[in-house]
Amino acid sequence: MKKMEQLYEGKAKKVFKTDDENLYIVDYKDDATAFNGLKKGQIAGKGVVNNKMSNFLMQIMEKNGIPTHFVEEISDRETVVKRVEIVPLEVIIRNIAAGSFSKRFGVEEGKKLNCTTLEYCLKNDDLGDPMINDYQIIAIGAATKEDLDTIADLTFKVNDVLKDFMRNYLKDLNIDLIDFKIEFGKTPDGQIILADEISPDTCRLWDATTHEKLDKDRFRRDMGNVEEAYAEVFKRLGL
Ligand code: TMP
């Protein structure tokens, strides 16, 4: 596999073409941003943690019948993934109230929700990733109804698998999955698969006993011990 020219540089990752037209290489950076890029910084070692954690979890998803972009980890920060066109949606699941949900609806952070919620934001930096509903997504053509149905089904399944994994298979983990954001891509043959990453950048992870935040909120909210939190999750996962 040959790494070819850079295709794209995002806030946290770079994407490269390869000599196989159906494969890309993602390269995870230590750069961190928040509030649509307004706050910028670095979290030393984050790229390694996010690469390895995401790959580990993507493989668990695959084992549970959820198709993903994962192909092969080729270095601490680099992974070969399937070429997809990203569906321009941030797909968010919440098990416990936090973040923008708590703010928007006036619900105390940490309150267990009566049911798991699914919400979407349109991926558009110029517009600040606005919240969008199913009808609006289909109306503007961000996804078809069929693709959105697939995305919703897969997203609830990801939540079930992740929660089950954290509770039952890795008891030492002692982490509660508060909420997370995932993204999907479409392969050249039209299959919807899980793409992007699953990491402390994109999940809220709280210590199940102390409720200490072990995720990017420590950076977003200037709480300190950011690197330590990423390293702690990495260690508890046994990576
Ligand atoms: P929110 O409460 O700020 O809407 O965030 C919900 C979840 O989505 C949380 O786990 C953090 C994650 N997230 C991202 O991955 N990228 C983003 O740009 C934002 C705003 C949140």
pLDDT at 81 over 80: yes
Amino acid at 98: A
CA 180 to ligand 1 centroid distance, Å: 7
Q: CA triplet 181, 186, 187: central angle to 5 degrees? A: 135
The pLDDT assigned to 67 comes to 98
Q: Is 33 exposed, middle or buried (CB count within 10 Å of its CB: 0-12, 13-18, 19+)?
A: middle
Task: Take residue 8 and report the two structure tokens written for it.
Answer: 């794209």
pLDDT at 169 over 80: no
Band of residue 35 on the pLDDT scale cut at 50, 70, 90:
very high
Distance CA 159, CA 96 (A): 12
Task: Determine the angle formed by the axes of helices 46-63 and 145-164, rounding to 10 degrees.
Answer: 100
Distance CA 197, CA 202 (A): 7
Distance CA 86, CA 89 (A): 8
**For the residues 20-42, what does the mean pLDDT come to?**
98
pLDDT at 168 over 90: no
Query: Is the Cβ atom of 92 under 6 angstroms away from ligand 1?
Result: yes
Residue of the CA atom closest to atom 20 of ligand 1: 35
- For 202-235, the pLDDT digits (tens) are 999 999 999 999 999 999 999 999 999 999 999 9
Amino acid at 168: N
- For 112-138, the pLDDT digits (tens) are 999 999 999 999 999 999 999 999 999
Q: What are phi and psi of 185, to 5 degrees?
A: -130, 165
206: left (phi over 0), alpha (psi -120 to 50) or beta: beta
Average pLDDT, the chain: 97
pTM to 2 decimals?
Answer: 0.98
**181: closest CA among 161, 158, 206?**
158
CA 175 to ligand 1 centroid distance, Å: 18
